[in-house]
Structure 1
């Protein structure tokens, strides 16, 4: 089974209702074209507007079954504004149990996205896609590649596509978006 993990396109902000920028909308069209040949049978997305807008063209053009899943929404670092959020985020890659006020630890967020992936691995589909966000995506990738951390998170693009192939008790992870 192949799972395509898609990071949303460029957005106007971080709020759940933030829409794609004009560049993000253009990128979503390129993404739809890029995904055409992958034979994706089903798409599960974060309910955040930017994630839905990222994949909307693809699912509509190809009549792909589509579902929202709250477990794919972005990881909440804190419920309060953290002026030094970047440094705080970096700390959570070192101490995966570190939690800030009203936020999730890396382990908590990784657990919920990994639940989705484990459920999808049990399906009869051979090619699935999830649409999510950069931080939680990096935590999922860290589950399969322990050296995927803060520096690798910084290298993710908007959008980005990672292919994870599960076969014969082996997992192969490849970045396929150029």
Structure 2
């Protein structure tokens, strides 16, 4: 019996220093409707989200269409890069992806964020065997979780993600089988 996880990377948001309360932009709200239309004809049993507003807003329309409640799981929040905003985001991200143990002051290393995300993922898999689950989350954390199951999900993969983006992961029990982009792409790994 297969379990299907639809990872939804949140849509475009308006930048604010309030990481948790940052809302979607107008474009993000339009794209959230596209997320809903891409998944509305699939059998879904549950929708889970990061506590961050932009992730929840990305799946609100889908939840409404499917008459499902959005269940918030804290550990699907984005990885904390640093306590304070970093001056050069691109080079800061490259540094943490280059060394999975490296963390900026007050931030999570890739390994720490991955462990948190994978534990949350394993809990979802354990309690939802044979079901189809949507998880609205964030690019870095999503790819770190996916990397746990296959090493080809790396910094370069993260760089090519769009906002929003949807990946379907198939599991037999807790055993990873495959991943594919929902837009219709072939199996990735």
Which band: TM-score by shorter chain?
Answer: over 0.9
- Residues in 1 aligned to 2:74 and 2:183: alpha-carbon distance in whole angstroms: 25
**Contact 2:49–2:56 (Cα < 8 Å) also in 1:** yes
The alignment partner of 1:30 has SS state of: helix
- RMSD, aligned α-carbons: 1.5
Match of 1:172 in 2: 178
CA shift, 1:170, in A, is: 4.5
- Residues in 2 aligned to 1:165 and 1:98: alpha-carbon distance in whole angstroms: 30
**Contact 1:45–1:52 (Cα < 8 Å) also in 2:** yes
One of 132, 137, 158 as aligned partner of 1:132: 137
Match of 1:153 in 2: 158
| Segment drifting more, 130-139 vs 76-85 | 76-85
| Segment drifting more, 98-107 vs 6-15 | 6-15
**Contact 2:169–2:176 (Cα < 8 Å) also in 1:** no
State how 1:1-178 maps to structure 2 within 5 Å. 1-13=3-15, 15-123=19-127, 124-167=129-172, 169-177=175-183
Give the TM-score of the pair, scaled to structure 1: 0.94
CA deviation map 1:62-112 (0-9, x unaligned): 111321111011101101222123112112112101011000010111111
**Contact 1:41–1:125 (Cα < 8 Å) also in 2:** no
**Contact 2:49–2:137 (Cα < 8 Å) also in 1:** yes
Unaligned runs of 5+ in 1: none
**Contact 2:97–2:110 (Cα < 8 Å) also in 1:** yes
- Residues in 2 aligned to 1:66 and 1:146: alpha-carbon distance in whole angstroms: 30
- Residues in 1 aligned to 2:176 and 2:120: alpha-carbon distance in whole angstroms: 18
- Residues in 2 aligned to 1:59 and 1:81: alpha-carbon distance in whole angstroms: 33
Unaligned runs of 5+ in 2: 185-189
CA deviation map 1:112-155 (0-9, x unaligned): 11111111111245101110011111111211220221111111
The alignment partner of 2:28 has SS state of: helix
Give the TM-score of the pair, scaled to structure 2: 0.89
Counting matched residue pairs gives 178
**Contact 2:56–2:70 (Cα < 8 Å) also in 1:** no
